[in-house]
Amino acid sequence: MNKLERYFSLLKFSIINPKAGVEIMKTEKQVRKDSKNEILEFGTNSKKLEEIINELFPKIEFSMKDFYEKTESLRNHINLFYKKLNDEKFPSKEKPYPTDYSVPINSGLLLYIICKVVNPKKIVETGVAYGHSSCFILEALSENNSGKLFSIDSIFRPWETKEKIGSMIPNKLKINWEMNFGTSKNNLKKLLDREKEIDIFIHDSLHTYDNMIFEFETVWKYIKKNGFLISDDISGNNAFYDFCKKNNLKPLILKQDNGKGLEMGIIIKK
């Protein structure tokens, strides 16, 4: 799909789905606004995965080698999934998200390790796409034989379909998964009210300032003591920085291994 085809596809989609069209225009406006703002820094260096794990869990019984070995089969599955998409064009029904859209491997490993060690009962994530991060979370829950992942994602553009959301996730892991279709603005508060309290929240949906601040502020009171708020792509705008500053929080920042500079932020609720 070239730029002209993409434009007319979005135009047709907006005419048929006017509410979705309005949201797309709002999002594009917010992205342009975010891009004009100076991105503030936390005054702390981002850290490698091993450093983050040592700081979070100084008395951990497993080594990084153990975690790499435990996730080898899953990582091979993910690589094969992406390999099958190499010849498909983006954007299209067959490839609704780019193959570099999902979280980097070290971010997925971080989510796996946190879930493996903490043994959470309830995790909420916004943004699924193919299900890259969901796979790592669900792998840990399966090994723990405990916990549930509640995911929220929506059909935002005409080439996206429900069938492709989470399509990477192996069927054997879906027993601990609940998928909620819709936007976080419509679904997040209702889900949190139903579940009362959660162990971990992960933001990886629409990375605009307004949406990120909304999710952080909505979810914070539902996260239990010593629970986690984790956000991907924190360096795209100042939402994570402003939330931490407002609440006097000191996050850990994960250095990404894909060279894109889109860092992941981790907060432990004290």
Contact 151, 162 (CB under 8 A): no
> Using 50, 70 and 90 to split pLDDT, how confident is the model at 13?
low
Q: What is the pTM of this model?
A: 0.90
In a domain, 144, yes or no: yes
pLDDT in tens, 29-69: 777 888 788 888 775 678 999 999 999 999 998 899 999 99
Higher pLDDT, 11 or 75: 75
- Return d(Cα 200, Cα 222) in angstroms, integer: 10
Whether residue 15 is contained in a domain is answered as: no
pLDDT given for residue 206 in this prediction: 93
1 assigned to some structural domain: no
In a domain, 23, yes or no: no
* CA–CA dist 265, 228 (Å, integer): 10
| 34 belongs to a structural domain | no
Give the count of domains, the chain. Answer: 1
In a domain, 4, yes or no: no
Which structural domain, as residue segments, surrounds residue 57? 42-268
Residue 14: predicted pLDDT: 63
Which pLDDT does position 159 carry in this prediction?
A: 87
Coil, strand, or helix at residue 265?
Answer: strand
Domain assignment present for residue 171? The answer is: yes
Q: pLDDT tens digits for 108-137?
A: 999 999 999 999 999 999 999 999 999 999
Q: What is the mean pLDDT of the chain?
A: 90
The pLDDT, as a whole number, for residue 11 is: 62
Three-class DSSP category at 94: coil
| Sequence-ordered strand ranges (E) for 66-158 | 122-126, 148-153
CB 200 within 8 A of CB 230: yes
Task: Assign residue 195 the CATH number of its domain.
Answer: 3.40.50.150
Is 105 in contact with 75 (CB distance < 8 Å)? yes
On whether residue 25 sits in a domain, the answer given is no
User: Each residue of 92-115: pLDDT tens digit?
Assistant: 999 999 887 555 788 999 999 999
